[in-house]
Amino acid sequence: MAKAACIKRLKKEMRDLVKSPPPYIPAVAPNERNITEWHYLIQGPPDTPYEGGWYIGKLKYPDNYPQKPPSIMILTPNGRFETGRRLCLSMSDFHPESWNPIWSMSTVLTGLLSFMTETTPTTGSVETSDEEKKALARASLEWNLRRPELRSKFKDYLKEAAVKSDLGHLLDADDPPADADDDQAPEVAEERAEGGVDSGAGVDSLGRTSTPVGSTPEGASGPPASPQREPSEE
């Protein structure tokens, strides 16, 4: 069970995020049964291969937070990180020795986004072309909407984009409980990226297309999300 200090800190951070969300991170959502588990929503920054994309990920906080850092993973295929795998960053649970207790959820997410727009390798990262990343960005909204356990967490934030993309019908499906389990890496699925990937191109669990594809957000601040070259945690 999470300690009282952890619960108090996370509740405060949620209030702060609602009041002043970081650039391109419009929302976070706690697990209703476990406040140490959070989902976040990233909107792809302009002038990057992720522009127009919507990316959902998860943070898991230890019971003694803020003394120890959270684990960080991303669930939506993106071409930068493996999906459903803990990421090795200086501010993640891979490296508690570099963690600073004054850093907050906002700091962590801002640092993650900054590192996402770089190309530095680390445990959990993958190599894809900018064209592949752009194709995955185009496919990301539909990918999220077709997964009720993710869609239900951020439906209000994805609604406008879904309607504009003629995907509004995907909002009408029945949603699972808000705290439905999604710990497993997203399954291999065939996704359509309009204008970039044909309808037969699949998206694997690394966030890469199975067929060839075509030929630091402004205002962000926080600790350097420097990668730490480590062997896999398996």
Quick one: which of 218, 222, 226 has its CA closest to 48?
218
Among the ranges given (113-122, 165-174, 204-213), the one the predictor scored with the smallest mean pLDDT:
204-213
Across 180-193, average pLDDT: 41
Give yes or no: 88 in active site: yes
Exactly one of 88, 108, 201, 203 is catalytic; name it.
88
Tell me the pLDDT tens digit for each residue of 18-60.
Answer: 999 999 999 999 999 999 999 999 999 999 999 999 999 999 9
Strand order of the β-sheet with 27-31 is: 27-31, 34-43, 54-60, 71-74
Tell me the pLDDT tens digit for each residue of 96-147.
Answer: 999 999 999 999 999 999 999 999 999 999 999 999 999 999 999 999 999 9
pLDDT of residue 2: 80
Quick one: which of 135, 148, 99 has its CA closest to 207?
135
Higher-confidence position of 189 and 12: 12
Domain 1-174+182-224 grouped into CATH 3.10.110.10: yes
**H or E element at residue 60:** strand 54-60
What percent of the chain has a predicted confidence (pLDDT) above 70? 74
- Domain spans in the chain, listed from the N-terminal domain onward: 1-174+182-224
Name the band, by pLDDT with cuts 50, 70 and 90, for residue 7.
very high
b/e 192-207 (16+ beta carbons within 10 angstroms → b) = bbeebbeeebebbbbb
Distance between start and end Cα atoms, the chain: 26
